[in-house]
């Protein structure tokens, strides 16, 4: 007897949840994970680069500004440092139709003034020669950007981007 397949409406097509240590060597891991996640949508090279850059900036902000971890990793080595105490960064990605939603969240120090942080070239770490363009890049490369933060309560960055080409949708029509 053949079992009838039940279709459950989840409200989304696919999702990815991950948590990793807030160290610089994991920024590239997050970037590659989101790339693999959206690959089935057949994004253009520009869309792929936009998403990877936005995720990279959001994760870097969590590591450097959220937790103040500026040590990162030793260039040329694939190992993350063991001797530092770090927080966690959570990444949640969801695909609904042709829209990608990405959330990057930390439990770090939070942002005192979100409006000021959104100003291009503003940085809280000028001694690190940070350019202060992270949020500007996220705004430029994604269709929507929301920053939910309060001092001492961490930060959650929510981004969305519509991805253009989905050949399997055209086949169904």
Residues designated catalytic: 57, 61, 130
Output phi, psi for 109, to 5 deg: -75, -10
Cα–Cα distance, 145 to 81 (Å, whole number): 32
Give the three-state DSSP class for 41.
Answer: helix
Give the three-state DSSP class for 63.
Answer: helix
SS (H, E, C) 66-108: HCCCCCCCCCCCCCCCCCCCCCEEEEEEEEECCEEEEEEEECC
Cα–Cα distance, 34 to 136 (Å, whole number): 20
**Tokens matching residue 107:** 């439990």
CA 154, distance to chain mean position in Å, is: 15
User: What is the chain's Cα-based Rg?
Assistant: 18
């Amino acid at each position: 007897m053949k079992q009838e397949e039940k279709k459950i409406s989840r409200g989304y097509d696919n999702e990815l949840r991950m948590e990793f240590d807030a160290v610089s060597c994991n920024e590239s891991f997050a970037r590659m994970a989101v790339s693999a996640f959206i690959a089935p949508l057949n994004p253009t090279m520009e869309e792929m680069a936009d998403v990877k850059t936005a995720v990279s900036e959001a994760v870097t902000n969590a590591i450097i500004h959220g937790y103040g971890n500026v040590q990162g990793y030793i260039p040329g080595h694939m190992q993350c440092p063991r001797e530092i105490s770090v927080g966690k960064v959570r990444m949640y990605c969801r695909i609904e139709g042709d829209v990608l939603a990405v959330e990057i969240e930390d439990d770090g120090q939070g942002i005192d003034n979100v409006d000021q942080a959104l100003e291009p070239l503003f940085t809280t770490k000028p001694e690190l020669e940070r350019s202060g363009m992270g949020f500007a890049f996220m705004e430029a490369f994604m269709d929507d950007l929301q920053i939910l933060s309060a001092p001492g309560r961490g930060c959650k960055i929510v981004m969305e981007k519509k991805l253009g080409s989905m050949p399997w949708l055209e086949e169904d029509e």
